[in-house]
Amino acid sequence: MSEHIAPVIEIRDLHKAYGSLEVLKGVSLTAHRGEVISLIGSSGSGKSTLLRCCNLLEDSQQGEVIFKGEKVHWQGEGLARHPADRAQMIRIRTNLSMVFQQFNLWSHMTILQNVMEAPLTVLKRDRTEVDKAARMYLDKVGIGDKCDVYPAQLSGGQQQRAAIARALCMEPTALLFDEPTSALDPELEQEVVKVIKALAEEGRTMIIVTHDMRLAADVSDHVIFLHLGKIEEEGKPEMIFSDPKTERLKQFLSATVPA
């Protein structure tokens, strides 16, 4: 990788608190173009909070958030700190598409309308162009025949694949997944895992918060294990899953990875 190419996302010494509760205690992360990073750890370790801080859905109290070499501008201090440049915040956020655990599809819109909405209203793209792209991405995730149905008519796995198509239609620089399979039963989960694996094989930049250790092992270039708001251990998936160094990671894997 060329030295001069800035990482897509860089987090430096990030601290995040909710009142007196400190959730992130100095976390750093770097995601280069085409890299897949998985965040693993117990509930409450700070994984989802870190992901939300990456695309500025949450404000942090200390540390740097850098997108493609550009630092986020802040104003205020401590719990009052927030992005100083709204236009910069929106631009970064639209380049880091988020896929949530609970799909967040609009129930009154068809699947095609759901996928088209943000490119039309946020990016102001041409409707004909967006329609074509939306149908292409729905085909890509395997539900191209569901364009004209409503979310309630789809299974959970189909809804999550629609949410992935919606994220892709923004043509983002990176995709952020927040527990994309945890609301699904095992059979439907595999539908979504298959799509995520295909995206990884395409070389898309992704950060994935997941409880699925097999997914993390299969798709990741780098795995970060968070514990109590700090990085306890990180490295290549084969090292993390086959040769964990810390006692806490060993305990976590013994409880989450099938024998």
3-state SS assignment for residue 163: helix
The angle at the Cα of 238, spanning 246 to 225, to the nearest 5 degrees, equals 40
Q: Which 3-state string (H, E, C) describes 174-201?
A: EEEEECCCCCCCHHHHHHHHHHHHHHHH
Its CATH architecture, for the domain 9-256, is: 3-Layer(aba) Sandwich (3.40)
Q: Could you tell me the residue ranges of all domains in the chain?
A: 9-256
pLDDT of residue 186: 87
Cα–Cα distance measured from residue 249 to residue 86, given in angstroms and rounded to the nearest whole number? 39
| Parallel/antiparallel/unpaired status of strands 222-227 and 230-235 | antiparallel
pLDDT of residue 1: 42
Residue type, 200: A
Mean pLDDT by 10 residues, the chain (259 residues): 77 96 97 97 95 96 97 96 96 95 94 97 96 98 97 96 97 96 89 95 96 94 98 97 96 83
Q: Are 142 and 157 in contact (CB under 8 A)?
A: no
Total-model pTM: 0.94
Sign (positive/negative) of CA torsion 234, 239, 240, 245? negative
Q: Are 151 and 114 in contact (CB under 8 A)?
A: yes
